[in-house]
């Protein structure tokens, strides 16, 4: 195989770096892990479903960088502790942490009927999970003298959507954006940069029901100036940019990737 100079530069970009992508077994997380592994990072992914995780590890393992899948629910302290113990024992360092794992299980309910348990499960994954995993990452990065953390928020954390009110999810993602800013201030003295990415509508498992419903899809398309959903790879490129030295003067930013949806 002939490898071009550009390909070699890309493969070298994250050589000797270790990256964690939570929720790396699907959608935006898997696309991000793919890009990091292609560009040379030893890549750890986690998720709850072990079959999905194994399939993703099988695919990523062909990209030429070390890949490790660790089953973990990011909302559970003991499982997150185990995640970082495994990363330490396998790689001894962590340079990049993408806190991507997220769920949206409240949209089927009116707020008047929303069970508190559904509120709790969304907050546990989307906010507590981000807290636990970024804290674990920051502890390792502080020892090394630096690192990059990227939190995945959402345009739902910026703008409430009249077509699909989802107060719990929206609040969790607004929390993620503010957490990124505050964490950026707290961790800057340790050389750790923290940024957030706020995707709009991206074609993943999370939006399967919308993508498969032509009427619903048409309604959403009218709201997006670029007239299409985004692809996971288009978000992954921004996440990977924020994970590397090319964004070395960025911290505390919330970068929107939404085809212009929140403009109008
Ligand atoms: N798709 C969009 O339009 C969109 C828009 C804005 C923001 N986002 C955000 O982008 C992130 C990725 O979403 P996606 O669209 O790529 O969804 P996805 O395809 O459903 O992937 C979600 C990933 O997170 C994992 N996950 C969920 N809960 C978890 C938990 N408690 N612990 C560990 N892993 C967990 C899932 O694996 P398991 O289920 O096996 O655990 C899966 O790997 C989420 O934070 C989401 O809120 C997505």
Identify the residue whose C-alpha is closest to ligand 1 atom 47. Answer: 102
- Residue 257 β-bridge partners: 199
Residue to mutate, 22, 23, 70, ligand 1, most ligand atoms under 8 Å from C-beta: 23
Identify the residue whose C-alpha is closest to ligand 1 atom 45. Answer: 102
Identify the residue whose C-alpha is closest to ligand 1 atom 2. Answer: 202
**For the whole model, what pTM was predicted?**
0.96
Q: Say if ligand 1 is within 6 A of residue 202 CB.
A: yes
Find out whether 100 and 48 touch, Cβ atoms under 8 Å: no
Find out whether 20 and 87 touch, Cβ atoms under 8 Å: yes
Residue to mutate, 20, 22, 24, 26, ligand 1, most ligand atoms under 8 Å from C-beta: 26
Alpha carbons 116 and 155: distance in angstroms, whole number: 24
Which residue shows structure tokens 């560009």?
39
Residue 7: per-residue pLDDT:
66
User: Annotated catalytic residue: which of 25, 154, 166, 172?
Assistant: 154
Using DSSP bridges, classify how beta strands 147-152 and 96-99 pair: parallel, antiparallel or unpaired.
Answer: parallel
Q: Say if ligand 1 is within 6 A of residue 55 CB.
A: no
CA of 80 to the centre of ligand 1 (A): 17
Residue 9: per-residue pLDDT:
63
Which domains, and CATH codes, for the chain? Answer: 13-106+119-158+168-256 (3.40.50.720)
Among the listed residues 206, 125, 135, 220, the one whose alpha carbon sits nearest the alpha carbon of residue 173: 125
CA distances from 67 to 92, 152, 223, 251, 257 (A): 14, 21, 39, 27, 27
Identify the residue whose C-alpha is closest to ligand 1 atom 23. Answer: 23
Identify the residue whose C-alpha is closest to ligand 1 atom 42. Answer: 23
Find out whether 192 and 179 touch, Cβ atoms under 8 Å: no
Among the listed residues 79, 53, 254, 75, the one whose alpha carbon sits nearest the alpha carbon of residue 150: 254
Active-site annotation holds for 169: yes
Residue 64: per-residue pLDDT:
95
Residue 5: per-residue pLDDT:
66
Q: What is the DSSP string of the chain?
A: ----HHHHHHHHHTTT-EEEEETTTSHHHHHHHHHHHHTT-EEEEEES-HHHHHHHHHHHGGGSS-EEEEE--TT-HHHHHHHHHHHHHHHS---EEEE-------TTS-TTT--HHHHHHHHIIIIIHHHHHHHHHHHHHHHHT-EEEEEE--GGGTS--TTS--HHHHHHHHHHHHHHHHHHHHHGGGTEEEEEEEE-SB-SGGGHHHHT-HHHHHHHHTT-TT-SPBPHHHHHHHHHHHHSGGGTT--S-EEEESTTGGG-
Q: Say if ligand 1 is within 6 A of residue 230 CB.
A: no
Q: What is the pLDDT along the chain (264 residues), one digit of tens a residue?
A: 555 666 666 668 999 999 999 999 999 999 999 999 999 999 999 999 999 999 999 999 999 999 999 999 999 999 999 999 999 999 999 999 999 999 999 888 999 999 999 999 999 999 999 999 999 999 999 999 999 999 999 999 999 988 888 999 999 999 999 999 999 999 999 999 999 999 999 999 998 888 788 887 888 888 999 999 999 999 999 999 999 999 999 999 999 999 999 998
Q: Say if ligand 1 is within 6 A of residue 157 CB.
A: no
Alpha carbons 260 and 257: distance in angstroms, whole number: 8
Residue to mutate, 27, 69, 73, 228, ligand 1, most ligand atoms under 8 Å from C-beta: 27
Active-site annotation holds for 166: no
Among the listed residues 116, 115, 132, the one whose alpha carbon sits nearest the alpha carbon of residue 183: 132
Q: Say if ligand 1 is within 6 A of residue 74 CB.
A: yes
Q: Say if ligand 1 is within 6 A of residue 193 CB.
A: no
């Amino acid at each position: 195989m002939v490898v071009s100079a550009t390909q070699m530069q890309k493969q070298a970009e994250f050589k000797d770096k270790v990256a964690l992508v939570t929720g790396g077994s699907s959608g935006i997380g898997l696309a991000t892990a793919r890009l990091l592994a292609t560009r040379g990072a030893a890549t750890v992914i986690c998720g709850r479903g072990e079959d999905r995780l194994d399939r993703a590890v099988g695919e990523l393992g062909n990209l030429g960088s070390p890949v490790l899948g660790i089953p973990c629910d990011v909302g559970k302290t003991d499982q997150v502790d185990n995640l970082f113990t495994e990363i330490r024992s396998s790689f001894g360092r962590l340079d990049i942490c993408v806190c991507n794992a997220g769920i949206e299980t409240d949209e089927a309910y009116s707020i008047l009927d929303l069970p508190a348990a559904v509120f709790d499960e969304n907050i546990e994954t989307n906010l507590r999970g981000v807290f636990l995993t970024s804290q674990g990452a920051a502890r390792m990065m502080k020892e090394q003298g630096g690192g990059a953390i990227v939190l995945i928020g959402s345009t739902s954390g910026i703008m409430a959507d009249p077509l699909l009110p989802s107060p719990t999810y929206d609040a969790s993602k607004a929390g993620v954006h503010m957490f990124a800013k505050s964490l950026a201030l707290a961790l800057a003295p340790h050389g750790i940069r923290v940024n957030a990415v706020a995707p709009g509508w991206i074609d993943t498992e999370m939006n399967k029901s919308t993508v498969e419903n032509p009427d619903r899809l048409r309604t959403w398309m009218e709201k997006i100036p670029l007239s299409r959903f985004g692809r996971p790879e288009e978000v992954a490129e921004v996440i990977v940019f924020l994970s590397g030295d090319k964004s070395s003067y960025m911290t505390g930013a919330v970068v929107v990737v939404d085809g212009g949806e929140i403009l109008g």
